[in-house]
Amino acid sequence: MTDFSLNERVIKIKGDIDEINRLIEEYKPFIASVVEKHIGRFVEYGIDDELSIALMAFNEAIEKYDISRGNFLAFARMIIKHRLVDFYRKEQKSAPVVYLESPENEEDGGYRDPTTEKSAEKFDESQISELRRLEIMEIKKELSRWGITFADVARCSPKQESTKKAYLKAAEFAASTPEVLKIIKTKRYLPVDKIVSATKLPRKTVERGRNYIIATVLILSGDYQYIKEYVKWR
């Protein structure tokens, strides 16, 4: 069976209720994480209305997703947040909503309710582990489309700090340069000439670190917030 990236999987399962429900079940930890970060407290399925809203929003994101919009999880996160805002507006709740992600025009000095602080601390570590696992599965699928395995990446993993910095320099350039990133994403090859020309790194260095650089570019340019946290770039 062909491996599909999450973006392609979402497009493929449109209209298939069983597959959609399976995807929603897999991504319940992600959905809960978005809700908790948005409202600033711990939530549980079957108890909190916000999670019911978020599940419907995730389903809506699947229905509306267009691969040209970019990363599906980023799109789903946006839809979930919008629906939560709509929910609170309709409910006109008297209690203030405490945001972990503070609105830009917030005037309360970043006030956080102590009870909310304690609730946030209860965030289940197993949920975070599950989110990491999902991200690892996703990057594994992305790499497989290149014919690259985790073992391939490990084999060219830099042992020296100078080599690590060189690989990171190449990856950061590629991930932050639209023209180069488009080539990588659509044509699936590493434009070594462009990277060498822009970064002045030795060609052999870039070629030797190809698999590591590609994996780094995919992580830097993708929605892999938990993997990024555990990668010590510098």
Burial (CB < 10 A; 0-12, 13-18, 19+), residue 78, is middle
What's the token pair of residue 10? 């979402």
How confident is the prediction along the chain (234 residues), in pLDDT tens digits per residue?
334 588 889 999 998 999 999 999 999 999 999 998 888 888 888 888 899 999 999 999 999 888 876 788 888 988 898 888 888 777 654 444 444 444 444 333 443 444 434 443 444 455 566 667 777 888 888 899 899 998 999 888 888 989 999 999 999 999 999 999 999 988 899 999 999 999 999 999 999 999 999 999 998 888 777 777 655 544
**What CATH number labels 6-122?**
1.10.1740
CB 119 within 8 A of CB 42: yes
Q: Where in the chain is the domain with CATH 1.10.1740?
A: 6-122
pLDDT of residue 111: 39
- Who contacts 157 (Cβ-Cβ below 8 Å, separation ≥6)? 212
Q: Which residues contact 53 (CB under 8 A, 6 or more apart)?
A: 80, 83, 84, 87
- Rounded Cα distance, 234 and 228, in Å: 12
Contact assessment for residue 122 and residue 96, using Cβ atoms and an 8 Å cutoff:
no
Residue 34: closest CA among 12, 5, 61? 61
Cα 184 to Cα 111, 135, 167, 179, 194: the distances in Å are 43, 20, 16, 9, 12
